[in-house]
Structure 1
Amino acid sequence: MSFAESFRALDFLEQAQALHKLQTEPSGEALAALMPLFQEPTGDTAADTMVRNSIRTLLQKAPESIISGLEHPHLPFAALCRDLAGEMQLDEAAPVLVNQLSKTSDSASLHETLTALGRIGALEAIPVFRDHMRNADPVVSSLCIQYLGMLGDTGSIPALSDIVAANETEERYAVCDITTWAAIEGLGRIGASAHAPALSELARFIHHRNPEARRIVQETFVQCGVTAIPHVSPALLDSDKDCRIMAANALRDIAHKASAEPLINALEQGAASDPNVGFAIYEALGRTPGVKSLVALTDALPIEQEPTTLLAVVHALESLTSAVVGKRFLEIITDRMAARDQQAQRILQAVMEAHAVKLFPHLYADPVAGRILVSLILKSKNTETMQVFLDALAQCQGELARKDEAAIRMGMPRDEADRPKLLAIDDSTAMRNFYRTHGAIIGFDVTLAEHGRDALDIVEALNGTFDVIVVDMNMPVMDGIQFTEKLRAMPLYATTPVLMATTESGRSQATLARKSGVSSFLPKPFTPEMLQNRLGKLLERAKR
């Protein structure tokens, strides 16, 4: 009686013991004994699973059986061998699998064979992946693109670039398809393998027409890190200001000191003449520590007057604060006060908005600057801001500090629960600071989020609704358009006013935002008065 016949007559525990004993036999003989059970299962799920697992174990001990099994007439066994060849990265399997692809017609088998080849990582599979990178099935094409990226195939760079460019046409830019997504990441993987042309090619799409594609490009550059800096940097001087902003944001998020030189060069070339570009560059310099960054930021402090741009400068200096920076900061304020211009007041307002608690002790010690700062804190009407500076004052010595603590405690707002609720979403810390401060001053209870996914988590956890939402367009993780689409799918937020504050200047971007459900737009940069006016109009319209 054969093993298979006797196996079928055993109970479950006896079957387990028989399989365990069989695995001590030579692999070839054991596999031959088990094949009838694999080809004609018992019908008992537990027993059939044990048989399959036993065959896997035996094959893993005998790679040559996997190679020969790739062409076994019993297709499920051949499929098992194919999966194991990929799992074990058997180079010897690659020629057989490549040959099989020429005979494969069904999509499922094609996908599985390509997956096995990709997991093996054999260079001889590159022509096959190139052949199928434009397959009609987007899952197959994106899979091939993924493996071309992993293999660092420089020969596929032009084709990958063409795929990304095709997604910018009038007919296709509204949606980022999975093939485009894969092509962007593929260029990033090739570039990360020290193949510079791939990253230079990817930089062409730093301001891709589709917001999601734009986000993926940004995240790909950040993943590449310092390697990407020389390829992103030329976009800082692009004729398109949106490209300049996206380049500065990428360098901000890469956060490496090597970014300082191209950022400062862009400032010297006049990039900050556009306040949105200046904002992005100054914020990026705050993430690139070094003497050059400090010099550029302190040079900007006495001259930048636009509120949000100045806030970016102060926030950047706060992140780089030392005793030397604090001393220089106070010198600039003292100099501006002596000149009797309004810049000192603007700078101190930005210190308050930025929650610049590292700079605060240096400024509070000055009899004039300290009094102005306390006055601004009291006028903020924001509990979070007042508490932050209360904590900072607790570290200061002297009777005056105790009096100021008492005054701030007395000035804490008592009626925040009755205020309309504002959710402000922006990946820029400086902009979130702006919303927190001026949203409170104009009468809102303000909640902040760093990106769309963060905001959705807040919305889903909230009991009740926000009265109005302000959202940026370009953010990591989830952009403003994606967020708005998901928000509008929630019954409670179907008609909530959504104000999109953005640097984007293209009409196509506004069209996409409108389709997602955005109610109105506020071009950056804007003043507190402009924000108040737009929010007021949206709330009035919502009440009608």
Structure 2
Amino acid sequence: MQGTRTHIFWDAPFGRRHLIPWLIKFGYPPSPREKTIREEDPAPLEIVFTGAGSLLPSDLTDNTIRICIGAEPDKKTNFFLQTPIAPRALAHLLANLRHPEKICCYTPGIPSDFMEIIPWLDSLNTGNAAIYLPELFQYIDGKRADTAVIPLLTDKIQTLLEKNPDLLLLGLEQGGLRTKIICARTAGQLDLKEALPLMLNLLHKSQIPDESETLIRAIGMFSTPAARECLKEEATGEDTVRALAAIESLGKNHASPETFRLLSSLIDHAEPIRAADAASALAATDTEAAYEALAEHLHPEDALVRKVVATLLVRAGKKAVLPVSRTMDKGSPQEKIMGALILGYMGLEEAIGPLCGQLRHPDASVRFSVCEALGRIASEKTFIPLTAALEDSNQDVVCAAITGLNYQHPKTGANAVRQAMAARPQRKSTLIAAIAAMQAIDLFLGLSEDRKTTKAIVQTAAESRNPLLLHRFLKACASMENPITRQGCEAMLRKAIEEIPPERPRILVADDSPTMRRFYETLLPQYGYTVETARDGLNALTRLQTDPARFALVLTDLNMPNKNGIELSMSIREKIGTDLPILMVSTETLENQKTIALQAGVNAFLSKPFTTEKIIARIRSLLHPDKKKKKES
């Protein structure tokens, strides 16, 4: 329209930056508005572009065309342009200002038929992106968007935005939810610094979980102090979803001493999921400082977090040996036990020295854990410390040493046991009991030349009344060279098998310690129970789900890989029911650990070390609660 004046009253920097070039191209260059001169007759035609909430001059004449820019029309305006402004829609509107009835006839250039969209998308390129991207933004944000093509559109939009940063900024400022998510993600990938203030402002206002989470992850890709401060604030904020996104981003892209201190402090957070994610974020940096910080938390209060920390340190391997060792040196008995567990699962020679340094600790549970760990490391260097542990005054420690020698040093281990028996005859019965209880078949065969010792081991095994144990020893007897010894042992074992009652309550034991599994297999059958063992909670749950009616009771450790005792108990209660009694046995002694276990569905909690009388009494009380009530009454 000749003589028309165009003015913009719209507080949207990137929207204005997008609109002005198109107005110039269409012949409507915008200019600052001056007050109307009264003598001017007739008043010139004015086109005013205004955003929602914008203040307009009070002297606008009746000859003014008001065009509202926004998400929805303003009642005070004549015409409306949806944001982000599509150039084709703008051109159509300007061309038909004198013919309002034609304006509503405008249709976007996006095909409505699904089969036509794919070739149309192929036709889009950086040359026509400025024309069609705003329409695409409107389409994917609208209610009529075909969800089947949203993934295709998203990929295409991201590709086009990579070459059109101005349109990316426009989408962030003017777009709807889907558009903002796509633009934020792309801005982060491009490290588009100009977008960061806009994204920070959007995050501050965002109340939509998907939007805020995407914004945080995108902001996390920027390496600026402003981005880092935002992440730290979100990581410690009240919103858990936002905090988890910030924690992950800190670990991925913002490794620094300050970040390590923050993540380390979050491992003690009251929310287990936030604490576990903080541990994972530390490990994701894969730095010595991060593993030092992680090792400072060998024994978090929450069992889930404890399992996550242990798993991460085991995966770190050599990088975590020294950090774990340092914490063990200065830590509590519980930290030493967890440290030994971690070093053992690493299975590295570098861990042998630090483990041996704890073999003289006054706490038998620590020495037991160390021997178990040494028994997991395939190295000749573990032979001497395991042999030395045969002299330990604690029977459990001796059992762990026997297990380690049987697994890692079967030939030399038998000689070591023989020499220990000869050097200290008073210890012979202890070693024999340990070999039988731990089902140390290789050591048993290595000692089979001594008929008296062999017979004593078989006699002890026979007293266990454990069918599985007895059959293992019976099978081993076939390898004996001395026929007299072989026949005598076989007869003794067969007789013991025949005397076992056919029907007995079956207990499922879940424990990652091979020594403890063997211990239960030996002890419990002596008191009339059949035992099945599982190496962790996941394996135990699989057996239970196959045939839950087979088991009268579950006896579980707390700290295990894959699925710990707390997780196992919760799964049992959720998937199997409340009737199956659960007894948890652990080195954990803190009252809050017992409380957490009971809340997870555990019926009784027993701390290690325990006496035979105590564990049998606890099992009987769980299997026969009525008898306990009568006794108490």
Q: Map 1:312-461 onto structure 2 (within 5 A).
A: 312-336=400-424, 339=425, 341=426, 343-400=427-484, 403=487, 404-405=489-490, 407-409=492-494, 411-413=496-498, 417-461=502-546
Change (3 A) 1:525 1:99: same
**What is the root-mean-square deviation of aligned Cα atoms in Å?**
3.3
Equivalent residue for 1:533? 617
- The number of equivalent residue pairs is 516
Equivalent residue for 2:287? 193
Change (3 A) 1:420 1:22: closer
Provide structure 1 residue ranges, at least 5 long, that are not aligned to the other structure.
Answer: 168-175
The alignment partner of 2:620 has SS state of helix
- The residue type equivalent to 2:368 in the other structure is F
The alignment partner of 1:500 has SS state of strand
Equivalent residue for 1:163? 266
1:225 aligns with 2:317: yes
Residue 536 of structure 1, CA deviation: 2.7
Q: Is the 8 A contact 1:134 1:141 kept in 2?
A: yes
The alignment partner of 2:540 has SS state of helix
Deviations 1:19-61 (A, max 9, x none): 3266156443267457546634798876x64476156246436
Q: Structure 2 CA distance, aligned partners of 1:55 and 1:111? A: 18
TM-score, L = length of structure 2: 0.72
Equivalent residue for 2:387? 298
Higher deviation after alignment, 122-131 or 239-248 = 122-131
Greater RCO between the two (CA within 8 Å, min separation 6)? 1
Q: Structure 2 CA distance, aligned partners of 1:435 and 1:394? A: 26
Q: Structure 1 CA distance, aligned partners of 2:305 and 2:143? A: 49
Residue 297 of structure 1, CA deviation: 1.1
Higher deviation after alignment, 460-469 or 253-262 = 460-469
Equivalent residue for 1:309? 397
Residue 74 of structure 1, CA deviation: 3.2
1:106 aligns with 2:198: no
- The residue type equivalent to 2:276 in the other structure is W
1:483 aligns with 2:568: yes
1:202 aligns with 2:304: no
- The residue type equivalent to 1:110 in the other structure is S
Q: Structure 2 CA distance, aligned partners of 1:365 and 1:137? A: 69
Residue 540 of structure 1, CA deviation: 3.2
- Higher percent of residues as helix: 1
Q: Structure 2 CA distance, aligned partners of 1:240 and 1:539? A: 35
Change (3 A) 1:31 1:411: farther
**For 1:133, which of 223, 235, 244 is the aligned residue?**
235
Provide structure 2 residue ranges, at least 5 long, that are not aligned to the other structure.
Answer: 1-87, 90-105
Deviations 1:223-259 (A, max 9, x none): 2222122222233344632222222222222221111
Q: Structure 1 CA distance, aligned partners of 2:551 and 2:423? A: 44
- The residue type equivalent to 2:280 in the other structure is E
Residue 444 of structure 1, CA deviation: 0.6
Residue 315 of structure 1, CA deviation: 0.9
Q: Structure 2 CA distance, aligned partners of 1:262 and 1:248? A: 9
1:493 aligns with 2:585: no
The alignment partner of 1:424 has SS state of strand
- The residue type equivalent to 1:181 in the other structure is A
Change (3 A) 1:207 1:8: closer
Equivalent residue for 2:62? none
Q: Is the 8 A contact 1:66 1:81 kept in 2?
A: no
Equivalent residue for 1:81? 182
Q: Is the 8 A contact 2:108 2:135 kept in 1?
A: no
Q: Structure 2 CA distance, aligned partners of 1:6 and 1:221? A: 56
The alignment partner of 2:508 has SS state of strand
Equivalent residue for 2:4? none
Q: Structure 1 CA distance, aligned partners of 2:481 and 2:224? A: 68
Q: Structure 1 CA distance, aligned partners of 2:154 and 2:301? A: 52
Residue 407 of structure 1, CA deviation: 4.9
TM-score, L = length of structure 1: 0.83
Higher-Rg member (1/2): 2
Q: Structure 1 CA distance, aligned partners of 2:431 and 2:497? A: 23
Equivalent residue for 1:143? 245
Change (3 A) 1:521 1:542: farther
Change (3 A) 1:226 1:484: same
The alignment partner of 1:364 has SS state of coil
- The residue type equivalent to 2:468 in the other structure is E
Q: Structure 2 CA distance, aligned partners of 1:71 and 1:179? A: 34
Residue 77 of structure 1, CA deviation: 6.2
The alignment partner of 1:332 has SS state of helix
Q: Structure 2 CA distance, aligned partners of 1:129 and 1:426? A: 40
The alignment partner of 1:464 has SS state of helix
Change (3 A) 1:126 1:91: farther
- The residue type equivalent to 1:453 in the other structure is L
Q: Structure 2 CA distance, aligned partners of 1:304 and 1:214? A: 29
Q: Structure 1 CA distance, aligned partners of 2:527 and 2:132? A: 81
**For 2:189, which of 86, 90, 93 is the aligned residue?**
90
Q: Structure 2 CA distance, aligned partners of 1:305 and 1:413? A: 35
Q: Structure 1 CA distance, aligned partners of 2:531 and 2:322? A: 39
- The residue type equivalent to 2:278 in the other structure is A
Change (3 A) 1:249 1:95: farther
Q: Structure 1 CA distance, aligned partners of 2:443 and 2:197? A: 64
- The residue type equivalent to 2:251 in the other structure is G
Equivalent residue for 2:278? 183
Change (3 A) 1:101 1:305: same
Equivalent residue for 1:519? 603
**For 1:28, which of 88, 110, 127 is the aligned residue?**
127
Equivalent residue for 2:67? none
Change (3 A) 1:464 1:65: same
Q: Is the 8 A contact 1:94 1:122 kept in 2?
A: no
Change (3 A) 1:51 1:418: closer
Q: Structure 2 CA distance, aligned partners of 1:389 and 1:227? A: 42
The alignment partner of 2:531 has SS state of strand
Higher deviation after alignment, 250-259 or 180-189 = 180-189
The alignment partner of 2:589 has SS state of coil
